[in-house]
Amino acid sequence: MARKIISNVITSLLFLTLLFMVFVVISSKASGGEPSFLGYQLKTVLSGSMEPTFQTGSVISVKPQEDYTKLKEGDIVTFMIDEQNVVTHRIINVVEKGEGVMYETKGDNNKDPDGNLLLPDNIVAKYTGFTIPYLGYLIDFAKSQKGTAALLITPGLLLLLYSGVTIFKAIKEIEITTKSSGRSDETEKTA
């Protein structure tokens, strides 16, 4: 009974791992970057500028907002520094200019604030407070051709291998049961 429960748990874990890997790979490929889920984007932390808040290689969850003019000091935002690069830093000062607003940002591990004030139009998302350490290395690996193949094929092969072992054990148990019931029939005939 316990062996069957353990077997079911292992099978379920392998299947869930396979589904997760498929999600990571497909989502990464479809978005051209980090995966997203239910409106939340997963961003990989590539530098130590926000340590100890985020460790290099972590994945953070950010969520796009409708209005970036109402952010406050201490909020952590992801913003465009040029057409291809984003940064996630903390707002250290809100600068009001007439009817507009700009933000002074700084990485927690940086000595100085960022060089330019941040316009709300350059902000792409706000940090949600959810971080998974070191998962970013896996996501970066998933973006490569070798990573895509490995992350899709390996869990599938493990699931197939485990299924094969389970089937082999079931066949052995059936053979043992058949042999022992055949012997009891022979014993009854000689008695």
Gap between the Cα atoms of 78 and 81, Å rounded: 10
Active site residue 47: yes
Long-range contacts at 8-13 (CB < 8 A, ≥ 24 apart):
10/162, 11/159, 11/162, 11/163, 11/166
Among the listed residues 47, 144, 163, 184, the single catalytic one is 47
- Side-chain-side CA neighbours of 17 within 13 Å: the count stands at 15
Burial of 25 (0-12, 13-18, 19+ CB in 10 A): buried
**Which residues are catalytic, by number?**
47
